[in-house]
C-alpha cells in the first residue's frame, strides 16, 4: 500500500514518520507549505505536487486544519486513480465529512476522527477511529504502528465521535481560559487560583496542562469549534461553540502579536501559579 499524507503539519508529519519508521511506503508533498513543514518532512519521500502525490497513492490520509479539508478534496479529486482510498482525518462535522466524500466520486471514502496527540518514536500514538463501508480496508495501517479502529455507523460516525470528544475536551479548555481571563480582569486571579487548587485539584491540573498547550494551536481550533457548532445543529448549545470559536480566534491573534502584556501572557502567568 502506497500511502500519501497531506499535509506535513505537526500531526501529519508525525503520522508519516511513524509509518515510514515501521516500514510503510509513504510520501508527502511540500507544495504550498513553509519551512516548518520542510523541517518536519526531513527523511521522508517528498513529491513535487499534491496532484503527483495523489496520483501515486493507494491511500490518501488528509490531515490538516478542518477549514481546509473540503478544498483539498476538491483539488485532489481529478488526480486520484479509481478506487483510491481517501481518508479524511480532520476535525469536521458529519455533514462536512459527507460533503467531502461527495467531492470524491472515484475514491473509496473513509471518515476518520483522530483522538490523541501526534505519535512519537515510541508509544501507542493517537487513536484513529474509522467509519464507512471501506474503513476496514485501512486496517493494514496497524501493521505500521497506527492504532486504527473501525467503528459502525457509516460515513459521519467517526466525525461525530471526534466532534463529541473535542467538544468536551477543547470546550473545557475554552471555559477554563475564559474564566481565568475574567478573574484576571476583575482582580480575582489569585483567589480563583487558590480556590480551584483547593477544591478542584484535578480540574486545575487539567487546565494547567491544556491551556498553555493550546496557545500555539488556537488558530486551528477556530474552525473546529465552528464544525462542532454545526454538528450540534439546532441544539441550544450550538451558539456556545460558535462563541468558543471567537474566543480561540482572539487568543490566536493575541499569540501572533507576541505582546508581553496580552491575554496569552495573562493565562500563562495564571496557570504557572503566578496570578
pLDDT in single tens digits along all 275 residues of the chain: 999 999 999 999 999 999 999 999 999 999 989 999 999 999 999 999 999 999 999 999 999 999 999 999 999 999 999 999 999 999 999 999 999 999 999 999 999 999 999 999 888 999 999 999 999 999 999 999 999 999 999 999 999 999 999 999 999 999 999 999 999 999 999 999 999 999 999 999 999 999 999 999 999 999 999 999 999 999 999 999 999 999 999 999 999 997 777 999 999 999 997 55
Find out whether the peptide bond into 171 is cis, omega within 30 degrees of 0.
no
- Closest to 169 measured CA to CA, from 244, 111, 274, 81: 244
Our measurement of the distance from residue 159's CA atom to the centroid of its chain's CA atoms, rounded to an integer in Å, reads: 11
H or E element in which residue 214 lies: helix 201-214
Please say whether the dihedral angle defined by the alpha carbons of residues 23, 28, 33 and 34, taken in this order, is positive or negative.
positive
- Closest to 90 measured CA to CA, from 153, 214, 7: 7
**Alpha-carbon gap, residue 145 to 125, rounded angstroms:** 8
Cβ-contact 54, 80 below 8 angstroms: yes
Our measurement of the distance from residue 34's CA atom to the centroid of its chain's CA atoms, rounded to an integer in Å, reads: 19
Q: Which three cell numbers stand for residue 5?
A: 499524507
| Dihedrals phi, psi of 58, to nearest 5 degrees | -90, -25
- Beta-bridge mates of residue 6: 62
| Dihedrals phi, psi of 212, to nearest 5 degrees | -60, -35
- Give the pairing of strands 147-150 and 127-131: parallel
Cβ-contact 60, 29 below 8 angstroms: no
Residues in the chain: 275
pTM here is: 0.94
Please say whether the dihedral angle defined by the alpha carbons of residues 233, 235, 236 and 239, taken in this order, is positive or negative.
negative
Amino acid at each position: 500500500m502506497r500511502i500519501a499524507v497531506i499535509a506535513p503539519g505537526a500531526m501529519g508529519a508525525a503520522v508519516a514518520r511513524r509509518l515510514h519508521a515501521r516500514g510503510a511506503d509513504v510520501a508527502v508533498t511540500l507544495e504550498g507549505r513553509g519551512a516548518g513543514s520542510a523541517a518536519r518532512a526531513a527523511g521522508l519521500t517528498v513529491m513535487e505536487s499534491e496532484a503527483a502525490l495523489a496520483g501515486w497513492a493507494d491511500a490518501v490520509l488528509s490531515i490538516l486544519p478542518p477549514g481546509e479539508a473540503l478544498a483539498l478534496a476538491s483539488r485532489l479529486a481529478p488526480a486520484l486513480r479509481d478506487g483510491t482510498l481517501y481518508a479524511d482525518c480532520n476535525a469536521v462535522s458529519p455533514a462536512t465529512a459527507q460533503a467531502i466524500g461527495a467531492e470524491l466520486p472515484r475514491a473509496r471514502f473513509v471518515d476518520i476522527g483522530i483522538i490523541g496527540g501526534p505519535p512519537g518514536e515510541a508509544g501507542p500514538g493517537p487513536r484513529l477511529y474509522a467509519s464507512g463501508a471501506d474503513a476496514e480496508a485501512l486496517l493494514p495501517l496497524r501493521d505500521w504502528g497506527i492504532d486504527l479502529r473501525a467503528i459502525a455507523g457509516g460515513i459521519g460516525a467517526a466525525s461525530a465521535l471526534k466532534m463529541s470528544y473535542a467538544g468536551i475536551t477543547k470546550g473545557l479548555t475554552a471555559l477554563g481560559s475564559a474564566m481565568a481571563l475574567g478573574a484576571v480582569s476583575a482582580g480575582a486571579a489569585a483567589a480563583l487560583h487558590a480556590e480551584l487548587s483547593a477544591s478542584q485539584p484535578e480540574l486545575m491540573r487539567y487546565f494547567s496542562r491544556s491551556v498553555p498547550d493550546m496557545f500555539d494551536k488556537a488558530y486551528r481550533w477556530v474552525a473546529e469549534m465552528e464544525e462542532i457548532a454545526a454538528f450540534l445543529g439546532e441544539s441550544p448549545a450550538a451558539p456556545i461553540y460558535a462563541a468558543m470559536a471567537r474566543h480561540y480566534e482572539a487568543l490566536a491573534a493575541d499569540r501572533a502579536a507576541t505582546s508581553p502584556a496580552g491575554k496569552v501572557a495573562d493565562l500563562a502567568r495564571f496557570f504557572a501559579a503566578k496570578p
